[in-house]
């Protein structure tokens, strides 16, 4: 039976609740990730922040300024143009940038432990429609992260090993 520890990435990038959205966005962009667990000072899981959460904050603030974003039938996003004075734009983005991670993060986080079955993790990813699961220890400290692609890579490697073994016999 393959375990989460066989597929997880132990080099997890985490965020702190007191960080700003701007700081979190910069980290996520620099590291090329779309989300990260949020941990307290002891490294315990307290939430998760994704690009979707950040975009939702931006959308809400822009709507408050009268800029509305509507999905098209093709799932693209169109913005109804509205001329905002330069100062208003600066103020809006300054306000958004200073929102704290704890005010934007999802607090109900699905997670796994390193000894959980990899298929249980895959089921949770699919059932809850999330892209990543923090991996925690018994004290709920984040020790890794596992994504859909991590699981697929691990299952593919396991399948290759089985194929090699069968062809040797």
Chain position carrying tokens 């959308």:
59
Domain count across the chain? 1
Structure tokens at 131: 């892209």
What is the DSSP pairing of strand 77-79 with strand 69-71?
antiparallel
Cβ neighbors of 118 (< 8 A, separation 6 or more) are 2, 3, 4, 6, 7, 151, 154, 155
State pLDDT tens for residues 104-114: 999 999 999 99
Secondary structure element (H or E) that encloses residue 63, with its range: helix 51-64
Identify whether the C-beta of residue 112 lies closer than 8 Å to the C-beta of residue 12: no
Whether residue 141 has pLDDT greater than 70:
yes
Q: The domain containing residue 125 runs over which residues?
A: 4-168
73 pLDDT tier (thresholds 50, 70, 90):
very low
Whether residue 92 has pLDDT greater than 90:
no
Q: Residue 147: which CATH number? A: 3.10.580.10
For residues 95 and 45, give the distance between their C-alpha atoms in angstroms, rounded to a whole number.
26
0.95 exceeded by pTM: no
For residues 142 and 39, give the distance between their C-alpha atoms in angstroms, rounded to a whole number.
8
Structure tokens at 138: 């018994």
Whether residue 79 has pLDDT greater than 60:
no
């Amino acid at each position: 039976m393959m375990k989460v520890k066989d597929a997880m990435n132990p080099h997890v990038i985490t965020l702190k609740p007191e960080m700003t959205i701007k700081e979190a966005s910069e980290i996520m962009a620099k590291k090329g990730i779309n989300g990260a667990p949020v941990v307290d000072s002891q490294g315990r899981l307290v939430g998760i922040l994704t690009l979707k959460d950040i975009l939702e904050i931006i959308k809400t603030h822009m709507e408050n300024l009268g800029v509305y974003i509507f999905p098209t039938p093709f799932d693209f996003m169109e913005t109804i143009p509205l001329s905002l004075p330069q100062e208003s734009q600066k103020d809006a983005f300054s306000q958004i940038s200073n929102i704290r991670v704890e005010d934007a993060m999802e607090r109900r986080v699905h997670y796994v432990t390193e000894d959980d079955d990899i298929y249980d993790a895959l089921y949770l990813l699919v059932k809850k429609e999330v892209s990543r699961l923090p991996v925690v220890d018994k004290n709920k400290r984040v020790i890794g992260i596992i994504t859909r692609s991590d699981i697929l890579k691990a299952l593919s490697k396991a399948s290759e090993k089985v194929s090699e073994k069968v062809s040797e016999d």
